[in-house]
Amino acid sequence: MLGGEPGLPCYRKKPRRRLVTQEGYPYIFFSALITFVTWVAFGEWGALFPFLLTLYIVSFFRNPPRRRPAGEEFILAPADGKILEVVDCDEKRYLKGRAKRISIFMSPFNCHINRSPISGTVVDCFYQTGSFKAAFKRKAMDHNEHHAVLMRDQYGKSWLVIQIAGFLARRIISYIQSGDALKRGNRFGLIQFGSRTDLYCPFPCEIFVKKGQRVYAGKTILGRIS
């Protein structure tokens, strides 16, 4: 199912850049309201937990400015988190070819804004419903709800970024549609409350990162286009 067209589940018009994304406003408001009510009813200690929860929600939806490294040949991380694996694979669903897959696990404490790893044009977007298994498990890439973005760079090479919902993540949001042009480091979506992002790089490419390494979206260089 084409998932990047207006009106379908994961698409949202890209909001103006703020330090906290607007998707977090309802959660922040509700949590702040609970904090106020418990403070009035039970005092400072009674309001401590909802107050800390409000701070966490604000932190989760943070949207820090990122200055991308110079050099169009460098591949940037599409997500904040930890590298799960770097492997050669056959991607048969969307890319339909050999690629280097870099999987990034985003914990509930990471910033969850997704950013474009390269400059290019969005060829197509695909939204797939599914289960909500733990995002760090291998089965998640095949069975979980996900949103796939197929891109083409200036050299005509195809790239694939897949936003994968996890056990806590129950909502994928995309700001892009087919035909949109993205620059390296541009925001293209987010996943709420713990998730995973897979990047499929075309051959030939040189990858610098390893399993277990922490990376930051739009900032960390994952590799270089050969």
Nearest-angstrom CA–CA distance, 99 and 203:
6
174 given a catalytic annotation = no
What distance in Å separates the CA atoms of residue 126 and residue 149, rounded to the nearest whole number? Answer: 7
Check residue 204 and give left, alpha or beta (phi > 0: left; psi -120 to 50: alpha): beta
Other beta carbons within 10 Å of 128: 18
Which of 116, 131, 195, 226 is flagged as catalytic?
A: 195
Q: Rounded CA gap, 66 and 221, in Å? A: 13
Catalytic residue numbers, as ranges: 195
